[in-house]
Every structure is written in structure tokens, then in C-alpha cells.
Amino acid sequence: MQISPSILAADFANLERELARISGADWAHIDVMDGHFVPNLTLGLPVVQALADVSPVPLDVHLMIEDPDRWAPQYAEAGAGSVTFHVEAAADVVATARSVRAAGARAAIAVKPDTPFEPYADILAEVDMVLVMTVEPGFGGQSFMAEQMDKVRQVRRSVEHARVPVWIEVDGGISADTIGTCAEAGADVFVAGSAVYGQDDPAKAVAELRASAQRSRGSAPDGS
């Protein structure tokens, strides 16, 4: 059960200080948006490189950009611990995942709410994580889409069937109210923006979210 706070909800004028506040988390989730793949623009390669140098935890970079085939490996070279790219944007998913791994990072694929996972079930050995979006990518603070839990369960079944050590991440609307549902469905990495940086004490929020995910997984039907 890993927590990856999204700095999209942090103070962009003080990112080093904001990262220090979540040193008890497992990852720092960095949302890279290009204004084309999603209708919002955030930050890019030079900023990620600078954050990698000062972050107390590894960077979980979420690319919401066009042409990830070209850019994803460069984020790995910039020092990201994990690079997630969207299958909707990639020309060659397997080749891109391989280049990310070759550049020294974990490789992950993301699927938007309307994108089925099934076509990617047979390439699970090529990736380290699958990100199931629980909102439409582009903005923080949106409502959790519970109907995506079917997809989380489907990815969990495929991972068990393929016997691969692939993590399942959920992103969007994750809070104390929704994290349990995701853990029960089989997710094990949880992105939270507002539910961490929107709180007075982000470190405490991280610990509470993790405890709550652990409790729910413990009560899942298969006990896994």
C-alpha cells in the first residue's frame, strides 16, 4: 500500500518545501500536462529534473502529453523513479515502456476512464505499473468515478493470472472516503492531491490514507 501525493494541489511557488512536507510518503506524483493531450498546462522536463535533485522521495511522473514515445525516456533520464504514459497517446506502447526501463526507471501505462484495459492485458510483462484513472485527466479536485472499480478488478485479475509483479495505481478523487473502495478492488498505489495538500497537516494525511488502505485490503474477500 503506497501513497503518492500529487503536487498539483501544492504551492507551486515553493515546491522544494512542499516535497519536504510529504517525506513520509512513498512517492511524489508529478503531473506533466502539455495543453494538447489534456486542456491544461503544468510543468516539463527542466522542472522535473530540478525536483528530482531535491525530493526526499522518488518521483512518480504522470505524463499527460502527446508523443510520449519521444519524451517518456527523457523523464527517466531526468531522474524520475517511475514514468507513466497514456496508451491513448503512444504510437508504440511496448517500445516506449522498454525505453523507459532502459533509461533506468519503472515503466507504467495509464488508461483514461473511457479506455478499455483489455488490449493491454497481454503486455503486462513489459510494464511495472498500470494506472487506472478515476477522473478524466487534466485537473485536480474532481469527483471520484466509482464505476472505474470494475477496471481495477479486471487489471488485478490479469496481474494475478500473468503472475507478474505489476502495481495498480489509481488517480483522481482519492480521499479517506474513496481509498478503501480502491484497495478492496485491488489497487496498491494511491495518488492523492487535494486529500493531502488540501489538509493542514499533509504528513498526517499521508499516514491516515495509508492506514485506511491497509485496513480495507485486509478486509478484501481474497484477503490479499
Please tell me what DSSP assigns to residue 128. S
What SS3 state is found at 31? strand
- Mark residues 5-34: x for contact with Zn ion by CB under 5 A, - for none: --------------------------x---
Please, what is the minimum distance in Å from the beta carbon of residue 104 to ligand DX5?
23
Among the listed ranges 3-11, 51-59, 83-91, 211-219, the one in contact with ligand DX5 (CB under 6 A) is 3-11
From candidates 3, 28, 62, 86, binder to Zn ion by CB under 5 A: 62
Please tell me what DSSP assigns to residue 147. G
d(C-alpha 219, C-alpha 183), whole Å = 9
Please, what is the minimum distance in Å from the beta carbon of residue 31 to ligand DX5?
5
Does position 180 bind ligand DX5 by CB under 6 A?
A: no
> What does residue 34 show for φ and ψ, rounded to 5 degrees?
-110, 5
The item of Zn ion, ligand DX5, none sharing an interface with residue 39, based on CB under 5 to 8 Å by kind, is none
Please, what is the minimum distance in Å from the beta carbon of residue 119 to ligand DX5?
22
Does position 191 bind ligand DX5 by CB under 6 A?
A: yes
Q: What angle do CA 96, 84, 40 make, to 5 degrees?
A: 110
Does position 192 bind ligand DX5 by CB under 6 A?
A: yes
Please, what is the minimum distance in Å from the beta carbon of residue 171 to Zn ion?
4
The item of ligand DX5, Zn ion, none sharing an interface with residue 9, based on CB under 5 to 8 Å by kind, is ligand DX5
> What does residue 130 show for φ and ψ, rounded to 5 degrees?
-120, 125
What are the catalytic residues? 31, 171
From candidates 21, 62, 86, 210, binder to ligand DX5 by CB under 6 A: 62
Q: Sheet of 167-171: strands edge to edge?
A: 2-5, 189-192, 167-171, 129-133, 106-111, 82-86, 59-64, 28-33
Contacts of 167 (CB under 8 A, 6+ apart): 2, 108, 128, 129, 130, 188, 189
Reduced DSSP (H G I as helix, E B as strand, rest coil) percent helix, strand, coil of the chain, to 5: 40, 20, 40
Residues that bind Zn ion (CB under 5 A): 31, 62, 171
Residues that bind ligand DX5 (CB under 6 A): 6, 8-9, 29, 31, 62, 135, 137-142, 171-174, 191-195
